Amino acid sequence: MTLSRKKFVLCQIVAKGSQSAILSLMGKIKRICVFTGSTCGERLEYREDALKLAKILTDNSIALVYGGGNRGIMGILAKEVKRLGGKVTGVLPKAMDLPSVRSADVETELIIVNNMHERKEKMYELADAFIALPGGIGTLEELSEIFTWRQLGYHKKNIAILNSTGYYDHLLEFLKKMVSEGFMNAKVLEELIVIEDVNDTITLLERNANDLPSKL
């Protein structure tokens, strides 16, 4: 998808006066989009933090938005939110609507879209805030894109990473390198919320988002 197309889509969302955009300015979160792995990873802590986050979301009446399916950390989180009585909205491309991906129904709502671009657009539209748990290249791509949109001013929703057992330490060092080498404004990096303790998730994600220097 071209940059102009992305901007057009985001402008449409804002023009509709979406509840997500309004809530992000107010600080109160009703839906959080979670990026994370379709595998479980090597450490038990990744799964434990996903289960803790599920309870935090349901205790605070916050719905989960994610990429759909029941595999890996994604599935663990979705299944637990649903088990605890929370709302789970999965967004899945047609090509991934397969028995191997959906061997169990873990969503309370499943939205099937045409492709990966539409999948991300829909998740971004539905959510009031975003958090990346440990994951692979897909998780990194989703985090990078929504952070880029934040930098460009297409939205003003908070973005966080859950740094379980220091999983994102090297990424954070690389982002600092971008700043020191002049490829990222330090104020932009300051807007990426780093959560070391999953219990701090809601408090940190509901902080006021700051205006950023224009990139355009």
pLDDT the model gives residue 24: 40
Q: What is the pLDDT of residues 68-92, one digit of tens each?
A: 988 999 999 999 999 999 999 999 9
According to DSSP, the residues that pair with 102 across neighbouring strands are none
35-202 architecture in CATH? 3-Layer(aba) Sandwich (3.40)
Whether residue 104 contacts residue 70, with contact meaning beta carbons closer than 8 Å, is answered with: yes
The rounded Cα 138 to chain-centroid distance in angstroms is 12
Q: What is the pLDDT of residues 139-177, one digit of tens each?
A: 999 999 999 999 999 999 999 999 999 999 999 999 999
What is the number of residues in the chain? 216
Q: Specify the DSSP element, H or E, that contains 209.
A: none
Structure tokens of 33? Answer: 């989009």
pLDDT the model gives residue 201: 97
pLDDT the model gives residue 209: 86
**Where do the domains of the chain lie?**
35-202
Q: C-alpha dihedral over 28, 30, 33, 37, to 10 degrees? A: 110
pLDDT the model gives residue 134: 98
3-state secondary structure of 156: coil
pLDDT reading at 8 higher than 50:
no
Which ranges constitute the DSSP H helices of the chain? 3-15, 19-26, 44-59, 72-83, 116-126, 137-152, 169-180, 186-190, 201-205
Provide mean pLDDT across the span 23-51. 88
Provide mean pLDDT across the span 31-36. 98
Single out the residue of 21, 17, 16 nearest to residue 128, CA to CA.
Answer: 21
pLDDT reading at 13 higher than 60:
no
Stated pTM of the model: 0.84
pLDDT the model gives residue 27: 62
CB proximity list for 49: less than 8 A, separation 6 or greater: 133, 162, 164, 198
pLDDT reading at 4 higher than 60:
no
Whether residue 141 contacts residue 135, with contact meaning beta carbons closer than 8 Å, is answered with: no
